Amino acid sequence: MLRANYIYTIGTEYQAEQLIFLDESAKDERTLSRSYGYSFINQVISHKVVFLRGVRYTILPALTLDGFIACDIMKGSCSKERFCTFILSQVVSIFFAFTSHLFLHHIHVTLKFLTTLFF
């Protein structure tokens, strides 16, 4: 019920040009290692994998209909503070650059949400 209400709200109150999608991805030496596999019946599978994690890289992209509008690539994992800095310094600044295409009410609601989320 909550998901249906959320999808209804997004579909009725926002235009596609107003949506920004964020995602966090990471890569290290174990990224391509499989956790599961198949073997013949009654045969133990032998699989060599890298046990060394190596250097981990994290990417934070912000995507709109026009493509990527902001991106941050860092060595190591992303902390809450780093994520907040990315949102406030890169995404929100671009968000305000396009205010002529957006409704001011939605900007106010979004900033209110961001302040309750991060502070």
Every domain of the chain and the residues it spans: 2-29+52-118
Query: Given this model, what pLDDT does residue 98 score?
Result: 61
| Of 28, 71, 68, 66, residue with least CA distance to 50 | 28
The ranges of the chain with pLDDT < 50 are none
49 and 30 Cβ atoms separated by less than 8 Å:
yes
Query: Given this model, what pLDDT does residue 59 score?
Result: 92
**Residue 78 DSSP code:** P
